[in-house]
């Protein structure tokens, strides 16, 4: 899934809403994102998409639309 500022912040909000905020590293900027932090965000995105019943790639559309 493409990871940018809008999606990153939306993932943080989703993690907060489901009580899993501590799982994600603090979002700073896309340029400041390490490979490890990106992997953590991507793993969370995969789990979130699975819970919602669709492929992770489609989560991008949902998160962008929520802004």
User: Residue 16's pLDDT is what?
Assistant: 93
pLDDT of residue 44: 95
DSSP string, the chain: ----HHHHHHHHHHHHHTT-GGGSPPP--STT--HHHHHHHHHHHHHHHHHHTS-HHHHHHHHHHT-
Both tokens of 1, joined, read 């899934």
Are 41 and 3 spatial neighbours (Cβ–Cβ below 8 Å)? yes
Mean pLDDT of the chain: 89
Domain that holds residue 10: 5-65
62: exposed, middle or buried (Cβ count in 10 Å: 0-12, 13-18, 19+):
middle
pTM, to two decimals: 0.86
How confident is the model at residue 66, as a pLDDT? 65
The count of domains in the chain is: 1
Interval 15-46: pLDDT, tens? 999 899 899 999 888 888 999 999 999 999 99
């Amino acid at each position: 899934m493409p990871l940018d500022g809008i999606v990153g912040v939306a993932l943080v909000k989703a993690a907060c809403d489901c009580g899993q905020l501590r799982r994600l590293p603090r979002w700073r900027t896309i340029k400041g994102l390490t490979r490890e932090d990106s992997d953590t965000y991507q793993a969370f995105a995969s789990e979130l998409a699975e819970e919602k019943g669709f492929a992770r790639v489609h989560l991008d559309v949902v998160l962008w639309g929520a802004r």
